[in-house]
Amino acid sequence: MPNIFEKLAFEHAPVLWQKVNDANLRGDYITRVDFAGSLDEIIYSWSKVNDKNNKLLAHGYYSVVETTTHYFILYAFYHGQDWYDGKYFFDKIRKNFDEHLNDMEGALAIITKRAKERVDAFVTVSHFHFYTYANWKKNDNKFLYKDTWRDRIRGYKEDLDGYIRPTKHNGRDRFSLYAQAKGHGIRGDRKKWGNEEKIIRYFPSMDTAEEPDEKGYQKENDYFYQNVRYELIDFFKPGGLWENKDNPKVFQANKKGQDAFVEPDEKDKNKPAPGSANPPWGWDDIDDRHKCGELAINPAKIVHDYLTGLREFSLEYIHNPYLNIFNA
């Protein structure tokens, strides 16, 4: 039976609209970090992504932090490759200097506790920048919920980057995330989304993880879509990523002091070294003054600084597994 936090994570989970590029479709599929075996062997994952004997079953990671007034649910999506095909000038530069093993980006959902809970705002991670979205709008630009302007959420120390756009799923409105092909930056709008025509719509599931079908796209208007279910994994499950945060075969601190997924050492390909991809406790925005990893570890603080209009807002944690606070 799922516990209360599993239920919350599923209830509020986003629909991920993932662009994919024909030059390397499998490099754009979300999956679990240990898709090809032990976490201790992830330095060898680059070639395993391209090996079709390894199923790239769709998964998303999550954690739940709770204060007396809000839930903060972090969703993170892993790709085995952050890649570039070198077709265009800037892609050639990024292929030479920025292509790397492993990739993880995502979003923090902010949910106000009330009779009818919903995601009131979220902050996304796109490379080295955070983007903030609040207030639901439909495709016709009318507000989905009839809040008055006085009650709407506004930017405080950071400007809002856009509204929350719904995607229907089994009669429910879920918030939408848009992920680039290749570099996989995630936003709540379609800016810098890329010109690829193929899109996978990943829908959350309690118990099913599917692999995309390379020939399973159906044309809708000017794009080609397929729908795939992803299963959620708790960062704090036994033997999971948080439990391995001090395992040097999985994570190491890079030169900036950020926790990073490992990749093969340049001189010894069988030796793990700090890479360029970060787990949520290593996420950082280069433009603000918050501590690295705060979006995961101390989300109430960063949200308190980013937004106003969230009504009552407490910084008192009653459940924060990052800080070893459990049901306080």
Amino acid of residue 269: K
Indicate whether 147 belongs to any domain: yes
Indicate whether 233 belongs to any domain: yes
CB 257 within 8 Å of CB 283: no
229-262 tens-digit pLDDT: 999 999 999 999 999 999 999 999 998 889 999 9
Average pLDDT of the residues of the chain: 92
Q: In the predicted model, is pLDDT for residue 89 greater than 90?
A: no
Q: What is the pLDDT of residue 116?
A: 74
Q: What is the side-by-side strand order in the sheet with 251-253?
A: 251-253, 259-264, 272-274
CB 39 within 8 Å of CB 247: yes
Indicate whether 105 belongs to any domain: yes
Please give the full DSSP string across 234-297, using - where no structure is assigned: ETTSTTSTTTTTT-TTTEEE-TTS-EEEEEE-SS-TTSEEE-S---GGG---TTS-SPTTHHHH
**Could you tell me how far CA 95 lies from the centroid of its own chain?**
23
198-237 tens-digit pLDDT: 999 999 999 999 999 999 999 999 999 999 999 999 999 9
- Distance separating alpha carbons of residues 163 and 151, to the nearest angstrom: 15
Structural domain count of the chain: 1
DSSP element (H, E) containing 301: helix 299-306
Phi, then psi, of 196 in degrees rounded to 5: -65, 145
Indicate whether 328 belongs to any domain: no
Mean pLDDT of 317-328: 92
Please give the full DSSP string across 87-119, using - where no structure is assigned: -SHHHHHHHHHT-EEEEEEEEEEEEE-SSS--E
Indicate whether 16 belongs to any domain: yes
Indicate whether 270 belongs to any domain: yes
Indicate whether 305 belongs to any domain: yes
Indicate whether 141 belongs to any domain: yes
* Confidence label for 29 from pLDDT (cuts 50, 70 and 90): very high
- Distance separating alpha carbons of residues 308 and 114, to the nearest angstrom: 17
Domain range for 217 is 4-323
